[in-house]
Amino acid sequence: MTNKAISPLRRRMMEDMTIRGLADKTQNGYIRHVKNFAIFLGRSPDKATSEDVRRYQLHLRTSGATVSTMAGAVSALKFLFNQTLQRRDIANLIPTPREIRKLPVVLSEEDVERLLNCAPGLKAQAALSVSDPEAFATYLAPLRKTNWVVYAKQPFAGPKAVLAYLSRYTHRVAISNSRLIRMDRRNVTFRVKDYRVKGPRRHKTMTLDAAEFIRRLLIHVLPKGQHRIRQYGFFGNGNRAANIAVIRELLRAKAPNTNHSDDNPAGHTDDQPRTLALPCPCCGGRLIIVEAFAPQQQPRAPPSASRAAA
């Protein structure tokens, strides 16, 4: 804490920032920028005009201030004139600085090779060589031997929201036939939904070149060897048997006897009750299929007693 007196204007600005819940780092930055503005003016900022703000921005630009510094000063001054001083006419006239973007420099193959060789570690090399399939495969090679641990936490909207989100990708195709309107040798027209628009106007139509439509459709096709849904953790198909064996060893649990057959159920030693593949809906025992008949075919009637005696 400091014993230095705080001006009424700064105190009111600090109170306004606290009411709006600005972070401490943001509040300190705003106070610093307003203080520099007051030093430039030589008087209190509450008497400043739009021409004073313009001269201050020109001073920052000519003195070599970065774009981020000027953007922070603009945000602080807009908050001062908008919220604390209630002088929105000046705040609306403060321009926001823009960063000048330069065209990228295209490197030659030799320059790219030297750049990759100078990158420290596989992570940096992967960030630079994503566009090169061979270099990216080299980066992924040691990662395939790592035992990854999946971290999960409780979602904000509950598990139903997560399942609803994942079901759009696991139980639906890229585009349904009902969305297709017309197609020919060159173009495909289909219905789309613009989520940026609210109301009935969000439903629109889009026409794409046939090759572009096929390209977008193939993006949703999984590569060979990948699955839409697969289990992870100790139930993963790749290491399930080894992981369960380690778990049984740690828990000192008895392994089930897999030598018994279905014809000799008394020989099994598993403590868990067995579940039949086809249980009888009436008694729960083994269901024996006597006869199966095709659709629209009348089942054969059992023989009568007179025919059986004959």
Could you tell me if 80 and 118 lie in one domain?
A: no
Across the range 205-227, mean pLDDT stands at: 85
Residue 6 reports pLDDT greater than 80: no
36 vs 300: which has the higher pLDDT: 36
Residue 246 reports pLDDT greater than 80: yes
Tokens of 50: 């739009």
Could you tell me if 77 and 45 lie in one domain?
A: yes
In the prediction, which pLDDT does 152 show?
80
Residue 190 reports pLDDT greater than 90: yes
- Residue 184 domain-assigned (yes or no): yes
Percentage of the chain lying above the pLDDT 70 cut: 74
In the prediction, which pLDDT does 260 show?
55
Could you tell me if 45 and 78 lie in one domain?
A: yes
> Of 135, 137, 127, nearest to 109 (Cα)?
135
Report the distance separating Cα 84 and Cα 82, nearest Å.
Answer: 6
- Residue 265 domain-assigned (yes or no): no
- Residue 280 domain-assigned (yes or no): no
Count the neighbouring beta carbons within 10 Å of the beta carbon of residue 236.
13
In the prediction, which pLDDT does 57 show?
87
Please tell me the least confidently modeled range out of 3-12, 66-75, 292-301.
292-301
Q: Which domain holds residue 135?
A: 114-140
Q: Output the average pLDDT for the chain.
A: 78
- Residue 87 domain-assigned (yes or no): yes
Q: Which amino acid is at 93?
A: L
Residue 308 reports pLDDT greater than 50: no
Three-state DSSP class for 182? strand
Tokens of 159: 């598990």
Could you tell me if 12 and 67 lie in one domain?
A: yes
Report the distance separating Cα 128 and Cα 112, nearest Å.
Answer: 9
122 vs 196: which has the higher pLDDT: 196
24-69 pLDDT per residue, tens: 888 899 999 998 888 888 888 888 888 888 888 888 888 888 888 8
Residue 1 reports pLDDT greater than 50: no
pLDDT band at 298 (very low <50, low <70, confident <90, very high): low
Residue 273 reports pLDDT greater than 70: no
* DSSP secondary structure letter of residue 286: B
223 vs 179: which has the higher pLDDT: 179
- Residue 65 domain-assigned (yes or no): yes
Residue 135 reports pLDDT greater than 70: no
Percentage of the chain lying above the pLDDT 90 cut: 5
Could you tell me if 18 and 60 lie in one domain?
A: yes
In the prediction, which pLDDT does 142 show?
79
In the prediction, which pLDDT does 207 show?
94
Q: Sheet containing 187-193: which strands, arranged edge to edge? A: 180-183, 187-193, 203-209
> Of 213, 242, 255, 218, nearest to 147 (Cα)?
242
List helix spans (H) across 220-283: 240-251
Could you tell me if 84 and 127 lie in one domain?
A: no
End-to-end CA distance of the chain: give it in Å, rounded.
114
Highest mean pLDDT among 23-37, 226-240, 290-304: 23-37
64-111 pLDDT per residue, tens: 888 888 888 888 888 888 888 888 888 888 888 777 666 566 666 677
- Residue 48 domain-assigned (yes or no): yes
- Residue 200 domain-assigned (yes or no): yes
